[in-house]
Structure 1
């Protein structure tokens, strides 16, 4: 097929998309730890939920493990951006391991709120997804039983706290804005005195990326979300598109694209989860360009300028 015979496709590229400040900081922490201390540097869990990022860091000398007991003595270890229970750094200290904590500062903010609320004697209803590393890390900041997980509207209707007048809520940072609002409406109706966090726990990057998808979805026949299947914020982007009535596909790399999906598609939306680098977006667009003439247009709904400082000792690496 010659270029003149290619069908045309309109691309609406959401902005903001891709890396957020917390992900960028976490990757820099691993890279600078390797620069300073040499390979290998061990990382507990995926530093962020993206295979391309993990494989790139492996090539530079990072070794990824599931648990701390897989880390040998005498090496440096990094904790992932999702945050860890307090027991993890405590165990590292007990073993004399040097560690860097790459927990996103916005997740750390939720951790500190949880501690303060429990210290004030409040029971916390925590809105999040069971088993997600961020949820496990946040629950690990407070004594067992101090928080109750709320995953769905049904959970919000069914929860029966011992002291309904002494409640607070917190949320995972990567949730669906719409789903969370629906759950909170139920909790606030049932428990009018429930204490809210001073600022929304759903992070700016999650909210901005969902708003950007919402802005393009109704103009698209299909939305491609570039991200990992275990990435909460990427999954939520696909859900946002579908809630607007537009089909969505979650893909990790260009090779995952099935051209059959594009049959009859005149306008295609593209976005990327907060742990997906821009190189993967361009890779997908380049693959589409092998079969289509592309008219590419960016739709920007917000500008982001947030940068998080690196941990002490890594700034000047």
Structure 2
């Protein structure tokens, strides 16, 4: 993959983003997933449960900044032991995590007999190197899917949640405004510093100082907002961090509790009705 199209991030950020993607992927499949990395007794990265049958899948995650095609899998001894011992083991290869294109990120699900066959040919050095033929890689990619997209209404709510996150951190000087466009066919969302966020479409010279989006209620895999393509699986915390990176510097003054409380109440009352997510014009 072209290095110019990769986002710069640390190994920890690559891992965290892969975990977030996996949890969104599991949710889209109707399962409930938990990040277990912080649990002392955990053997794998994520445990996902079918709420109907109670069946669990134990998931170890191998995150790649690029595509990883043609590379052997480098696994630590503890990871190999877990995949050989836990019930219903899966090795998720999360590829292209650093891509600016959210649709390039894929989960290649290596599980069942195919996983066990790979483990049987592992080579023990100071680590385990598991051969990963390109034919298997290509077959897994062909079978892979991306999580479902997000509607405009859901995205508006996600942005509101992100602003509430920022208010919880003390950034009360950040404002959120969502109003209907004059045609009534789309919604305009503005997030930025209190001195610059308007209650209508602003002049062009303001747009580079706010996070702005005009959207309808179509289902999309990602939307351009706050200087980035925001994929549907991004959490409010991730969007909050992106907003801070996009707008001019603002200090966490914690000086407007009433406004922060009003937006929190709006979030609590929000449902699928777009009108419930609108601020007063």
* TM-score category (smaller protein): under 0.3
TM-score normalized with structure 1 length: 0.23
Higher helix share: 1
Q: Which has the higher contact order (CA 8 A, sep 6+)?
A: 1
TM-score normalized with structure 2 length: 0.25
